Each structure stands twice: as C-alpha cells, then as structure tokens.
Amino acid sequence: MAAPQYTRTPPCGPVSGVEVHGVARFTGIPYAKASRFQKPRPVEKWTDALNATKPCPACPQPKDLILNVDLAVALGSSEECQRLSITAPVLVVPSASLKVMVWIHGGSFLTGAGDASIYDPSTLVIEHNIIVVNITYRLGLFGYLGDQTSRPANLGLFDLLQALRWVNKNISAFGGSNDPASITVFGQSAGGAAIADLLLVPESRALFRRAIIQSSPFGIRLGRSKMYEALLAKCQGISVASSSDEVVEMGDKLTEEGLKWGLEGGMVFAPQYGQEPLPDEEQITVKMHDAAPHFEVLIGTTAHETTLFLDKIPATAWLIDLPVVGSLFHSAISWWSTRVIYSNGAKELASLLTQAGGSASVYVIDWAPNNGRLGSTHAAELPLLLGDCQAWTDVPFIGDSKWENVDQLGKRLRSVWVAFASGATLKKQDSVEGLIKVWRP
C-alpha cells in the first residue's frame, strides 16, 4: 500500500510530502541557492508541486570518523545543499500554529547533514505534537575560512540565516507558527556554536525567541586570526574552478595543519569574527549584552565532553594508555579540557545574558551510556533527543546500552527540551537524577 501523500502550499510554491512512520515528512526543500563561494539568495517561487520525498544531500565532506558514518555515501552530496526538511504530525492543518523547533547539526563545521538518520526528529514530533525543521548548510571550505577576496567568510552562517528566513515565511502552511516567540533553534557542538553566533546578529530577533545551545566549544572560538592567515596561505590554489573533491581534500589537509595550532586547531573551520554578519571579537560582549533581552537561552554541556577525542590526539593518547596511571591522567585531562573548551564558556554566556536582562538556564548532562571510559561524552545526549535504535547502532559512544533504557531516559529529556521551547523557565527542580542537572546563573 502506498504511503499517504500530503501537499502544502506555502508562499515558496506547492510542496508534496509523504507519511513515514507516523509523521508527515517534507524533505529536501531548497531554501536558498548559491554559486560556489557566493552568499545565498532566496529561491524563486515555483508553480509545480515540489516532490519533497528525497533527503537533503550533504555538503561534500570527508567521512566522520567520530560518528563512524560517511554521509556523502548515505545521503549523496552536492554543493547545492541549501535545503531543509520538515517533520510534522500527520493530521496537522495549516491553521494549527504549532511550536516549531529548528535543528542545526554539528560536526566541527566540516561534517554532518540535517537529514542524517541520527537526527531524525520523528519521535520528538509524535510525542509532543510539534514541528521540527532540520537544516543542511555549507561546511568546510565551501562555507567557512573566507579570505574576503576570492570568497566571503561565514557563508555557512549566511545559509542558516536564509533558512530561518524561509521558516519564518513558509512554516505556517505546514501547521507551524511563524511567530518568533514560538520558534526555538537547537543545535549541538558546531551547531550550538552557530546558534550562539546567531544571537549576535540583530536580524535573528525577528526569526526566533528561544535557543538551546548544546556543547558549544566556546573556549576555542577566539584568537584565531594568525591560524586563519596561515591556513588561507595553504589553500590559495582552491577556486571556483576546483572540483568538489579537490576542495574536500584541501579541507582534510587544513584539518591536519590545524593540529599545529593547539586547542584552536581542533576546529579549523568556524565563523570568523569581524566579517559579516559578525562583530569584531572586541565587540562580542557588548553585542551579546544588547541581544540578551530578546532571547531565552538554555545552554550546557555533557559532564565529560572531551573523552570522545582524547585517544585521537597524539599528545594525550599515549598518556591515557599508560598502565596504572593512565586512568588518572584520563580523568584529569578530560576534567580540565571539558571546562576550558566547553563548560566555562557556557556558564559565562548564561551569566552575561542574565545580567543583561535576558533569560538563561544552564544544564549538565550526566547520563553515562555503557561505553567504557567515555562516560557522559560529547554528543552523549543526542540519542536521547533524535534518531532511533537502528540509526545509533554503530556509533561508538552508545556502547552496549540497551535501547529501551536509552529511549526511556530520552523521553524525559525530550520533555525538558520541549518544555523550554514551550516557554517554561527551567530551574533546579527540572533536574532529573542520573540524566540532567539544571540551574539558573
């Protein structure tokens, strides 16, 4: 039996989706178009129904060795990756004005895709009768490390802004509310970092009200100008005439080169301050102070963020593998690096927002899957929020955790996230033992 079809008619043009596993899915919708190294521009309105049943292609990228997935194979890849997917309750009508949550994936601004199976929001939609939008955007050299001569900086961030404009203009036709007060952006790692930067862009105040910033690497986002200068000198041969594969290969080389630059080199691609649409580094605090009254923010980390990476870094791998004392080194290094790269910045931002008249809650995920010494590592909360058992089967940080236990805890965490998206001010009493601690700064 063929799956039920759904057609909606937003201002962009008619869109046809299909029912999948109890939700209505509209996938691969173009929200912008752009030539290589050019800013995105709106897609012209179409008249024939768009067959929105194929996933968004990933931006060309290398295999993600952390999550053990090759998205270029799983989803296909294309430089025309400025697309989004919408997941909605099956019976929702355009006038429903449901809450909207917009997911921005992570991956060090180098890997990832909105329609990766681990980011399937179907369970979230079914449980809470909301709409979720998954955005795919430009990564690596396609989206970042601009030189302001041959390519602008922050193209991936411009993509995200264009996607949010699209949501504001079109989501009502899918049953969602386009009121910024009903729209929440949430993202993890690089996705969380992008959201923190979007708070600095005045236009964002008209696009969303609430933000959930998960595991943003605040400690390595500043003081990168010398590294950028050196990396740009290494990739002068990359141009609009280069093949996609050549651009990806150069991105790999720059990633290796970045290791020479210490902690900041762990993420060579990232938004550049002092380039549109972001302020200079010296102005970040002032601009965030101005933005604070316009947003409500939930921000936090996992308890042991960096354990996922320590055995991948030569400088730490040999230490943590030493007999007897290795476990002590592992605990000490992960404690220190988690705070320096992740936790301290999250707490500082929450305090700044609160003191400036905004609303902020801080959380720590302390759930530890059965994953050996990784504990509550970077991205440990993701299987509690998105995806299903099959999607997470081969991901290393799940370990041998039983999926029924993961899903049981996930149901509680999903409720916390949606409560925040629905306007709740989270406090200490919203903590769940063995899962999440919440407090107000």
Mean pLDDT of 339-346: 97
Strand partners of residue 132:
87, 101
Mean pLDDT of 287-301: 98
pLDDT of residue 374: 85
Element (H, E) at 131: strand 131-136
Share of the chain above pLDDT 70, in %: 96
Band of residue 418 on the pLDDT scale cut at 50, 70, 90:
very high
Mean pLDDT of 168-197: 98
pLDDT of residue 398: 81
pLDDT at 246 over 90: yes
Band of residue 322 on the pLDDT scale cut at 50, 70, 90:
low
Mean pLDDT of 218-234: 94
Mean pLDDT of 14-23: 95
Task: Report pTM.
Answer: 0.96
Greater confidence (238 vs 66) lies with: 238
User: Which distant-in-sequence residues (6+ apart) come within 8 Å of 368 by Cβ?
Assistant: 303, 304, 374, 375, 376, 380
pLDDT of residue 310: 75
pLDDT of residue 95: 87
pLDDT at 81 over 80: yes
- Cα 171 to Cα 130, 146, 163, 182, 192, distances in angstroms: 12, 31, 11, 11, 22
Greater confidence (92 vs 397) lies with: 92
pLDDT of residue 311: 73
User: Among candidates 7, 29, 10, which has minimal Cα distance to 19?
Assistant: 7
pLDDT of residue 325: 66
Greater confidence (398 vs 144) lies with: 144
pLDDT at 320 over 70: no
Greater confidence (23 vs 74) lies with: 23
**Residue in the structure block whose two tokens are 């919203």:** 430
Rounded CA-CA distance 252/154 in Å is: 19
pLDDT at 313 over 80: no
Mean pLDDT of 150-163: 96
Instruction: Give the number of C-alpha atoms closer than 13 A to the C-alpha of residue 150, restricted to the C-beta side.
Output: 13
pLDDT at 115 over 70: yes
- Choose the weakest-confidence range: 310-314, 368-372, 400-404, 432-436: 310-314
- Cα 163 to Cα 31, 39, 112, 234, distances in angstroms: 6, 13, 17, 31
- Choose the weakest-confidence range: 18-22, 29-33, 225-229, 373-377: 373-377
Band of residue 2 on the pLDDT scale cut at 50, 70, 90:
low
pLDDT of residue 406: 92
* Residue 121 near residue 86, CB atoms below 8 Å: no
pLDDT at 371 over 80: no
pLDDT of residue 317: 61
Rounded CA-CA distance 112/132 in Å is: 17
Whether domain 19-40+51-439 has CATH 3.10.20.30: the reply is no
pLDDT at 318 over 60: no
pLDDT of residue 110: 95
Element (H, E) at 167: helix 155-170
pLDDT at 328 over 70: yes
